[in-house]
Amino acid sequence: MPYELNDKIKSIDPYEPEPGSYRVRLDANESFLPPSDKVREAIRTAVDTIHFKRYPDPLAAELCAAAAAYYGVNAANVTAGNGSDELISVIFNAFVQKGDKIVTFAPDFSMYPFYGRLAECPVLTLPKRQDFNIDLAAAADTVNSENAGLVIFSNPCNPTSVGIPSGEIVRLIQSVRALVVLDEAYMDFYGDSLTARVEEFDNLIVLRTVSKAMGMAGIRLGFAVANPALTAAIRAAKSPYNVNAVTQAIGRAVFSDTDGIRHAVTLIKASRDMLLGELNRISKEIPGSLKPVAADANFVYTQAEEAECLFEALKKSGIIVRRFGNCLRITAGRNLENVELINAVERFYTSNR
Ligand SMILES: *Cc1c(COP(=O)(O)O)cnc(C)c1O
């Protein structure tokens, strides 16, 4: 009998980052800054203490304590993951059962429907308003009337870069029976976090990561922050050695330089504001070209006339961004990278009409 793939794995669309090498990579919302000298030094010291022949601490206790101090919570509120991506998968496998409904929004992070499908849960995707805001009161009604088990969204949102004030999210958390998974991957840039308030809620898990503001996407490290009961469940459901010893050691070093993190966030926000300002200028000088959205994260989202042609033209000049239909998401880069991007966009719209 030939082996046959089941339907869910047959129909899964793998997450495929843009292949190929580009001079200017503004497609993955990474930081453009290297780790600070202080962090580099702390990493060298930490790596020397690793017991390579031993399995790592299954609960990454020292790392979670360092993260907890940074996020203003207790270590009993924190679970470390192999990227927050892994934690989304763990949470979807542990807190919903096959057939339970998961609610998310569009546009939002593409991995939510991906993991939802693998967990065999129908994913209800509620459209956002034209300005990319969410009517959270209406969403809460839908979550309850559909008897959904889980609602997940990013704040600020990837890909729109739009932030939602924490007060609105608190109202949602308090008015639904579902578990709310609040993905704060970009919260370092927005500064209206609910991470430190997880003890107030019995249905909130907040996700954080070192991949974006802290410039550490390569070590694969994220955190789930929740009350102790939810934390115990997440820890029980994860694989035992999910965060390797090298990442645990480097992760502790990252949290040792809080001034450095703050400084990096300031520089990245300045780059984002420069990028947004220039894209806004182009949208005024060349009517009908771009329509950038006010940005709260480290990237800018904009509607773009002839988005696909523009995307291809950028690639030809060695610049990669992300395209979502007629919109582009552009990560804030180094000054020269931003300038190259802006010149290429301007060139496209002036030579094209
Ligand atoms: C980048 C990103 C993540 C993934 O973070 P990792 O910790 O690198 O897995 C999670 N959520 C959103 C919305 C992101 O954009």
Phi, psi (degrees; rounded to nearest 5) at 157: -80, 135
Phi, psi (degrees; rounded to nearest 5) at 308: -65, -45
293 and 172 housed in the same domain: no
Asked if 311 and 321 touch (Cβ cutoff 8 Å), the reply is: yes
275 and 248 housed in the same domain: no
217 close to ligand 1 (CB < 6 Angstrom): yes
CATH number of the domain to which 248 belongs: 3.40.640.10
pLDDT level of residue 17 (50, 70, 90 thresholds): confident
Last residue within a domain, chosen from 256, 287, 305: 256
Confidence (pLDDT) at 352: 59
**Ligand 1 mean position, distance from CA 209 (Å):** 7
215 close to ligand 1 (CB < 6 Angstrom): no
Report, as an integer, the average pLDDT of 37-48: 96
Range of the domain at 184: 37-256
What residues pair up with 152 in beta bridges, in sequence order? 181
111 and 134 housed in the same domain: yes
**Helix 83-95 and helix 111-118, axial crossing angle in degrees, nearest 10:** 40
113 close to ligand 1 (CB < 6 Angstrom): no
222 close to ligand 1 (CB < 6 Angstrom): yes
209 close to ligand 1 (CB < 6 Angstrom): yes
What stretch of H or E contains 103?
strand 102-106
Confidence (pLDDT) at 13: 83
Count other C-beta atoms under 10 Å from residue 279's C-beta. Answer: 26
User: Does the pLDDT of residue 273 top 80, yes or no?
Assistant: yes
Last residue within a domain, chosen from 206, 232, 256: 256
Phi, psi (degrees; rounded to nearest 5) at 242: -70, -25
Instruction: Judge residue 319's burial from the number of C-beta atoms within 10 Å of its C-beta, 0-12 exposed, 13-18 middle, 19 or more buried.
Output: buried
Residue 248 belongs to a domain: yes
286 and 220 housed in the same domain: no
Number of domains, the chain: 2
Nearest-CA residue for ligand 1 atom 2 is: 185
Identify the CA nearest to 25 among candidates 345, 334, 349, 343: 334
185 close to ligand 1 (CB < 6 Angstrom): yes
CATH number of the domain to which 345 belongs: 3.90.1150.10
Report residue 235 as tokens. 């820890």
List pLDDT tens digits, range 172-205.
999 999 999 999 999 999 999 999 999 999 999 9
Q: Distance (Å, rounded) from C-alpha 4 to C-alpha 241?
A: 31
Residue 71 belongs to a domain: yes
- Mean pLDDT of all residues belonging to the chain: 96
Q: Distance (Å, rounded) from C-alpha 5 to C-alpha 77?
A: 39
Instruction: Judge residue 218's burial from the number of C-beta atoms within 10 Å of its C-beta, 0-12 exposed, 13-18 middle, 19 or more buried.
Output: exposed
Confidence (pLDDT) at 154: 98
List pLDDT tens digits, range 91-139.
999 999 999 999 999 999 999 999 999 999 999 999 999 999 999 999 9
User: Does the pLDDT of residue 353 top 60, yes or no?
Assistant: no
**Ligand 1 mean position, distance from CA 136 (Å):** 22
Torsion of CA 286, 288, 292, 294, to 10 degrees: 100
**Ligand 1 mean position, distance from CA 348 (Å):** 31
51 and 113 housed in the same domain: yes
46 and 194 housed in the same domain: yes
Report residue 192 as tokens. 């209206």
Which is the closest atom of ligand 1 to the Cα of 212? 1
194 and 281 housed in the same domain: no
List pLDDT tens digits, range 242-272.
999 999 999 999 999 999 999 999 999 999 9
Q: Distance (Å, rounded) from C-alpha 331 to C-alpha 302?
A: 11
137 and 274 housed in the same domain: no
Q: How far is CA 82 from CA 45, 232, 241, in A?
A: 22, 17, 10
Confidence (pLDDT) at 4: 92
List pLDDT tens digits, range 279-294.
999 999 999 999 999 9
Residue 293 belongs to a domain: yes
The answer for residues whose C-beta is within 8 angstroms of residue 91's C-beta and 6 or more apart is: 150, 181, 205, 224, 234, 237
Which is the closest atom of ligand 1 to the Cα of 221? 7
Residue 22 belongs to a domain: yes
Phi, psi (degrees; rounded to nearest 5) at 23: -60, -40
Residue 2 belongs to a domain: no
Residue 284 belongs to a domain: yes
Residue 1 belongs to a domain: no
Task: Give the rounded percent of residues in the chain with a pLDDT score beyond 90.
Answer: 95
205 and 272 housed in the same domain: no
The answer for residues whose C-beta is within 8 angstroms of residue 287's C-beta and 6 or more apart is: none
Nearest-CA residue for ligand 1 atom 14 is: 185
Sheet of 150-154: strand order equals 78-81, 222-226, 204-209, 179-183, 150-154, 102-106, 123-127
84 close to ligand 1 (CB < 6 Angstrom): yes
Q: Distance (Å, rounded) from C-alpha 328 to C-alpha 348?
A: 14
264 and 249 housed in the same domain: no
Last residue within a domain, chosen from 228, 256, 284: 256
Q: Distance (Å, rounded) from C-alpha 171 to C-alpha 15?
A: 33
**Ligand 1 mean position, distance from CA 84 (Å):** 6
137 and 227 housed in the same domain: yes
Distance spanning both ends of the chain, measured CA to CA: 60
72 and 206 housed in the same domain: yes
Asked if 179 and 95 touch (Cβ cutoff 8 Å), the reply is: yes
Q: Find the angle CA(121)-CA(125)-CA(129) to the nearest 5 degrees.
A: 165
Among 27, 63, 82, 85, name the best residue to mutate to test ligand 1's pocket (greatest count of ligand atoms within 8 A of Cβ): 85
SS3 category, 299 = strand
**Ligand 1 mean position, distance from CA 222 (Å):** 8
